[in-house]
Structure 1
Amino acid sequence: MGKINLGILPKLLLGILIGILVGSLGNLFNVSDAPAFRLVIEISATFTSLFSTFLQFLIPLLIVSFVAVGLADLGQKANKLFLVTLLLAYCSTVLAGLLAYFFGYAVLPQWISPISSMNTSGTAFSPLFTISVDPVFGVMTALILAFVLGIGLANIKGERLLGCLKDLQQIITLTLKKIIIPLIPVYIATQFAGIAASGELFSTIKMFVMLFVMILAFQWVYLLVQFGIASLLTRENQFRKIKNMIPAYFTALGTQSSAATIPVNLECAYRNKITKDVADFCIPLCATIHLAGDTVCLVLGTMGIMLASGMSPDFGLYLPFILMLGVTMVAAPGVPGGGVMAAIGIIGSMLGFTESMQSLIISLHFSQDSFGTATNIMGDQTIAIVVDAVDQKHSEKQAEA
């Protein structure tokens, strides 16, 4: 018999169910009358504390390694088509965030009410012990350092420091794949155990499901917006090309990785008559710099959680957050959930999310990561279509000259 390997989504759902069961039992019986059960809850709280501490330690290192390497690699490819692609990808990501914000601002307050347990930090139970591990530096320090190193390496074309950063990037990727991602379902289970024990389970699940549906629906809407913009810019109906992209969409649903979907997405681009040279350049590049689907999830998801926590998602707070998201998620790890792992630092520092709030956005992002990835790769096609049109016009002008 072969070993059954569940995907991250089934494991996440199983973790939520186990957490709900454990927390509900704690709410049903008086914990003080059951020492063995109290020990289980305290062990759960201890794991939550240790995992959160390690995650907070890891995030600045992730930002420095991935963003710096991403900027350095991008800077070393400086040419006209690259700059056009980079600008389109960034504008698309920011537009996705802005439209998601205005949609959320208009709709979410009518559906989501404050939940009393949401603004607490961590679980309702004390851990057996805690370990204090300060990050090497703060999140904003990591971002500034990543910008300086990435842009600097792109200009001096340095290889030794870049090689060190790439080694660090590989170490962080391995840590994510072997430690963080496998333990995420356990981490989420401990958080939902605390929510269930606090008596706010129904309200939290209702919010979670509502946000999931809204995010999924808006991702599809934004895909139509992207194809509409591509049609306007190229003066040609691009909606008819959607049917050729279905294989890439479903591949992304299965792999949860834009990078793993590149070969299929390239075939779809060829089928859509995008020039081979443009497709070969644009599709792999956009797989690392264009994360509109993740942005929609992170903006709507954080807004919903803020409203449930009694906080106000003001535009003045979200505009710099959205602008920063477009940069922070550059070259996000090619693993499921890489987008939220790269962004969780600024979610905490810029939006003021507590540990329990961060665990919910991580859970929400993982639950829809397949659809967010599929949105990303479909959007990559629209960018390639526009870049191809720009390249053809440029070639025509050169021929006339």
Structure 2
Amino acid sequence: MTPANDRPASPRWLAFLFNTSLVAQIVVGLVIGVLLAWAWPDAARASGLLGNVFVSALKAVAPVLVLVLVTAAIANHKRGQSTHIRPILVLYLVGTLLAALVAVVASFAFPSTLQLAAADVAVAPPAGIVEVLRDLLMKIVDNPVHALLEGNFIGILAWAVGLGIALRSAGEKTTRRVVDDLAGAVTFIVRLVIRFAPLGILGLVAATLVESGFGALLDYVRLLAVLVGSMLFVALVANPLLVFFVTRRNPYPLVLTCLRESGITAFFTRSSAANIPVNLDLCRRLDLPEDTYSVSIPLGATINMAGAAITITVLTLAAVHTLGIEPDLPTALLLSVVAAVAACGASGVAGGSLLLVPLACGMFGISNDVAMQVVAIGFIIGVVQDSAETALNSSTDVLFTAAASRAATRGDG
């Protein structure tokens, strides 16, 4: 046998691949993407294929992963064992409402105005809160095959819960064992996809910088500053206060971990749905209870939308200030509630929250034509706005899941 010390050294790039953290590799991919867009635009455009493939792969595995993991978790759940879902739901709802309130305060402190002009946006916003709630109900009773194809995670969750409850009465060593093995197999595929995140981020960054650039954003710097500033305040101040209230521990190590390991990928994929596999993998590495995170993470990708609540509130109040409307305090507070409820119905895809802006604008008598011009502006600044929004939304899913789980563990101890 060849002594271990005599074995040939592995190539440096292989050593970097296997011995360096995924976050460090993503940062390297990000830097290479920026340099590629600056020095070789044609290659940067071509590298966009890497980003598209990565995001598509995440979106492809996410519905199957959620269905299998939730089914397995419920099927194997022991009676009397707490999943801590209720406190996580409370954190989701309180966090979203608090984010909307922060956006109201920021919009009054730093009022923004818009250059409204005729703009055609081929989308149909919901007519009101009732329609949003009706859409959520229809998603729950969706056909399971259609839910998987369309990435309808509310419908997938509903079927997974139903199947899990039904399988709890199955034989210990038969059906439930098969479900466990299937969950392990799907998880393996997900981890494989996530290992390609650095290449995906490289392609997304390079292609975005070449195609969009940031020149078009200069006219909306003030609006972006209010949006991103509100999101940063929620991420670094409001959410840590909530976590401290729940855990009674220094929240920032957990907050920064979630932002670094979940927020970075969510920023570039711009899809809460696509980031579900990343969040599930992070929860596993944080050693959280699988019974808890297998349900709370896909649920959070659907209803925990602090970033969306900020977007809806800030853009609506920007339209209000532009038109010279003077909102009173009760109306502004009501807007926070409406934005929080509407945000729960925002789709987990890029730009999903923008279609709910006309709903909030209706509170102030703003016509749908004007509101859709605000939506068009939202798409212009979406390169930054939607990325920051998704990073906040997705990282908060893990943050609140971990906070509630650790608080319960401390209480049990």
User: What does residue 211 of structure 1 align with?
Assistant: 223
Q: CA deviation at 1:251?
A: 0.6
Distance 1:393 1:138 in 2: 45
Aligned AA (1:281): V
Distance 2:125 2:101 in 1: 32
User: Aligned match of 1:139 in 107, 128, 133?
Assistant: 128
Q: CA deviation at 1:383?
A: 1.1
User: Aligned match of 1:233 in 238, 241, 246?
Assistant: 246
User: What does residue 332 of structure 1 align with?
Assistant: 346
For 1:163-202, what aligned pairs fall within 5 Å after superposition?
163=143, 170=150
Cα distance change of structure 1 residues 295 and 339 upon mapping to structure 2, 3 Å threshold? same
TM-score by length of 2: 0.55
> Does 2:275 match 1:251?
no
Asked if structure 2 preserves the Cα contact closer than 8 Å seen for 1:283 and 1:381, the reply is: yes
User: Aligned match of 1:344 in 357, 373, 376?
Assistant: 357
Deviations 1:122-143 (A, max 9, x none): 36xxx9xxxxx9x899435524
Q: SS where residue 333 of structure 1 aligns?
A: coil
Asked if structure 2 preserves the Cα contact closer than 8 Å seen for 1:348 and 1:358, the reply is: no
Q: CA deviation at 1:316?
A: 2.8
User: What does residue 22 of structure 1 align with?
Assistant: none
User: Aligned match of 1:382 in 399, 404, 407?
Assistant: 399
User: What does residue 221 of structure 1 align with?
Assistant: 233
Distance 1:205 1:267 in 2: 34
Aligned AA (1:265): N
Q: CA deviation at 1:273?
A: 3.9
Distance 2:321 2:277 in 1: 40
Gaps of 5+ in 1: 8-72, 128-132, 155-160, 174-188, 190-203, 397-401
Aligned AA (1:357): V
Q: CA deviation at 1:272?
A: 3.4
Distance 1:362 1:136 in 2: 14
Gaps of 5+ in 2: 1-41, 50-69, 75-81, 154-211
Q: SS where residue 309 of structure 2 aligns?
A: helix
State which drifts further: 354-363 or 245-254: 354-363
Q: CA RMSD in A?
A: 4.1
Deviations 1:148-185 (A, max 9, x none): x56xx97xxxxxx6439967994999xxxxxxxxxxxx
Q: CA deviation at 1:390?
A: 4.6
Distance 1:87 1:380 in 2: 12
User: What does residue 70 of structure 1 align with?
Assistant: none
Cα distance change of structure 1 residues 357 and 137 upon mapping to structure 2, 3 Å threshold? closer
Cα distance change of structure 1 residues 365 and 346 upon mapping to structure 2, 3 Å threshold? farther
Aligned AA (1:337): G
Cα distance change of structure 1 residues 340 and 380 upon mapping to structure 2, 3 Å threshold? same
Asked if structure 2 preserves the Cα contact closer than 8 Å seen for 1:227 and 1:382, the reply is: no
Q: CA deviation at 1:218?
A: 2.0
State which drifts further: 380-389 or 328-337: 328-337
For 1:74-153, what aligned pairs fall within 5 Å after superposition?
81-108=84-111, 112=112, 118=116, 122=118, 138-139=127-128, 142-143=131-132, 145-146=134-135, 149=137
User: What does residue 266 of structure 1 align with?
Assistant: 280
TM-score by length of 1: 0.57
Deviations 1:180-199 (A, max 9, x none): xxxxxxxxx9xxxxxxxxxx
Distance 2:291 2:148 in 1: 32
Distance 1:164 1:244 in 2: 34
Q: SS where residue 235 of structure 2 aligns?
A: helix
User: What does residue 296 of structure 2 align with?
Assistant: 282
Q: SS where residue 260 of structure 1 aligns?
A: coil
Aligned AA (1:300): V
> Does 2:310 match 1:296?
yes
Distance 1:252 1:137 in 2: 26
Q: CA deviation at 1:240?
A: 1.4
Distance 1:171 1:248 in 2: 20
Asked if structure 2 preserves the Cα contact closer than 8 Å seen for 1:97 and 1:296, the reply is: yes
Asked if structure 2 preserves the Cα contact closer than 8 Å seen for 1:92 and 1:292, the reply is: yes
Asked if structure 1 preserves the Cα contact closer than 8 Å seen for 2:85 and 2:292, the reply is: no
